[in-house]
Amino acid sequence: MEYKKTTLNNNLRVVTVPKPGSPTTTVLVLVEAGSAFETKNINGLSHFLEHMVFKGTEKRPRSIDIASELDGLGAAYNAFTSVDCTGYYAKAANENFDKILDVVSDIYLHSTFDQKEIDKERGVIIEEINMYEDLPMRNVGDLFTSLLYGDQPAGWNVAGEKEIIKQLSREDFLKYHKDRYLSGSTVVVVAGDINEEDAIKKVEQAFVGTNAGRGSARVKILEEQSAPRILLKNKKSDQTHLVIGVRAFDAFDNRRFALQILSDILGGSMSSRLFQKVREELGAAYYVRSGSDLYFDHGYLGISAGIDNGRILQVTEAILGVVRELTNSPVGEKELEMSKEHFVGNMLMDIETSDQLANFYGGMEVVNGQILTAEETIKRIRSVSAPEISSLAKELFRNDRLNMASITPFEDREKLQNTLTLE
């Protein structure tokens, strides 16, 4: 799966990923406009703006004009906002490439940000925030990042705070769009059964009106911790949701491949150590898993579980026991190879479609500024050794990196704090 990266005269980056035989083509636009670039008084604006671009452009003045055109093409389309970026994409049959490119470039470049639509969409955003607050499996992840990073961009909710959402003005949208939606801060990815040279020319024409420049740098994240920390949100519920995790490193670090395998060994599959211990042996959880999130300047590994309310102490001790065992004993060759192949197999299945292929290559470019092909990534994964896993585990799994967030009716914070130790 070779790709081509082209930097246009205005510094807009175009990544083309040919996939011969693919029935669909995806156009994905990624812009450096996420919560990492916000200030406190506009927290949530990146995500709110992502909603607003679908509300109307100069060429397509109503939201129904955008939606009906894409629906009429049989397209799959959406948008997303993260810490590091905002993305807009459309995926359709190959013969509709020109049309989806026209729509996606139009909403990126020419959104009108109508005041009446902004006021209506506030209610939608607030209900989205309310929905996440009512989904403890999701909400506990936000609590965990808040615990790790506190009152700085990495610790803020990507969707924002309701009181801030209510106060954002049209001028805020216009200024943010002008300051961040710039050619040097944007990557356009085209993946599918394409002619690369033709696709690059069409992208150049479609985005000719992009403002030149690059957005200002993000505020550097501060990492401060000397002992295990805990954050409990007491809530009456039928199940306790928790995240136990440690600070790691950024997305540029060469140890990221070892981290992915370490995380897979812990909780990446039904045969993983945590799944076998917490679900199969203890019968205390429906879901238990491990995953790493690495960003431009920070990252962490987190273990998530939804458990019996009365067994939070037992499960916490069990999870930490599995972590200690991985830290203190070398990983066997059979388990290591199984984990590598599990990770590789899942990665290959993830990039079978044009939209996931676009995300795979575009995500690396917008965060890292450096792309590894699928083949190169597989090579790096398969080169991870047992000593690397042991060394990384010893480095990460320490009390001065350990954190736990939970949404639970359990109220004895002191007892839980005493349980939270890797020593």
For the segment 3-32, what is each residue's pLDDT rounded down to a tens digit? 999 999 999 999 999 999 999 999 999 999
Q: Do 177 and 245 fall into the same domain?
A: no
Catalytic: which of 32, 38, 50, 388? 50
- Which residue among 150, 172, 206 closes a domain? 206
Distance CA(28)–CA(183), nearest Å, equals 15
294: domain range? 229-419
Q: Do 192 and 238 fall into the same domain?
A: no
Distance CA(354)–CA(47), nearest Å, equals 24
Q: What is the pLDDT of residue 121?
A: 98
Within a domain: 222: no
Check pLDDT > 80 for residue 1. Answer: no
Q: What is the mean pLDDT of the chain?
A: 96
Within a domain: 211: no
pLDDT tens digits along 258-317: 999 999 999 999 999 999 999 999 999 999 999 999 999 999 999 999 999 999 999 999
Q: Do 13 and 130 fall into the same domain?
A: yes
Within a domain: 189: yes
Amino acid at 87: G
Distance CA(94)–CA(41), nearest Å, equals 43
**Six token digits for residue 404:** 């736990």
- Contacting residues for 401 by C-beta, under 8 A, at least 6 apart: 225, 246, 247
Distance CA(163)–CA(281), nearest Å, equals 45
Give the chain's domain count: 2
Within a domain: 212: no
Q: Do 139 and 234 fall into the same domain?
A: no
Q: Do 281 and 349 fall into the same domain?
A: yes
- Residue 45 belongs to domain with CATH number: 3.30.830.10
**Six token digits for residue 108:** 């990126």
pLDDT tens digits along 26-70: 999 999 999 999 999 999 999 999 999 999 999 999 999 999 999
Distance CA(408)–CA(406), nearest Å, equals 6
Residue 223 vs residues 37, 148, 318: alpha-carbon distances, Å = 18, 8, 27
Q: Do 200 and 261 fall into the same domain?
A: no
pLDDT tens digits along 153-184: 999 999 999 999 999 999 999 999 999 999 99
Q: Do 338 and 408 fall into the same domain?
A: yes
Within a domain: 89: yes
Q: What is the pTM of this model?
A: 0.95
Q: Do 90 and 202 fall into the same domain?
A: yes
Within a domain: 174: yes
- Which residue among 149, 171, 206 closes a domain? 206
pLDDT tens digits along 227-236: 999 999 999 9
Q: Do 190 and 266 fall into the same domain?
A: no
Q: What is the pLDDT of residue 81?
A: 98
Q: Do 340 and 201 fall into the same domain?
A: no
Active site residue 50: yes
Q: What is the pLDDT of residue 369?
A: 85
Q: Do 183 and 242 fall into the same domain?
A: no
Within a domain: 216: no
Tokens 């007491």 sit on residue? 234
Q: Do 186 and 293 fall into the same domain?
A: no
Tokens 């005493």 sit on residue? 418
Within a domain: 224: no
- Which residue among 175, 206, 237 closes a domain? 206
